[in-house]
Amino acid sequence: MAFTTSYKDTGLSGIYFCCEEADIERWTEKICESWHDLHENIDEEMLQRAKRTLFTNMLLLLDGSTPVCEDIGR
């Protein structure tokens, strides 16, 4: 499960995953490969789409009591 947490002037992104102990190395390598692929192979269209999606999600978070509760929790 991926997560993104936005703060006032920064943010945090990451991945939660569960697996058998024997599979940890394989899954960690796959996740690192995916992050590296995102870093190396992004084009302008993908970047703009990601910016629009982030902006939309941030606007949706402003509507309702969830953001207020999250701020109180922090």
Closest CA to 13 of 44, 50, 40, 49: 50
Q: Give the predicted TM-score (pTM) of the model.
A: 0.54
Structure tokens at 34: 């995916």
Enumerate residues 6+ apart whose C-beta is below 8 A from 67: 61
pLDDT digits (tens, 9 = 90+) for 24-61: 999 999 999 998 988 888 889 988 998 898 888 778 77
The structure tokens listed for 73 are 């929790």
Give the span between the Cα atoms of 14 and 16, in whole angstroms: 7
Q: How far apart are the first and last CA of the chain?
A: 21
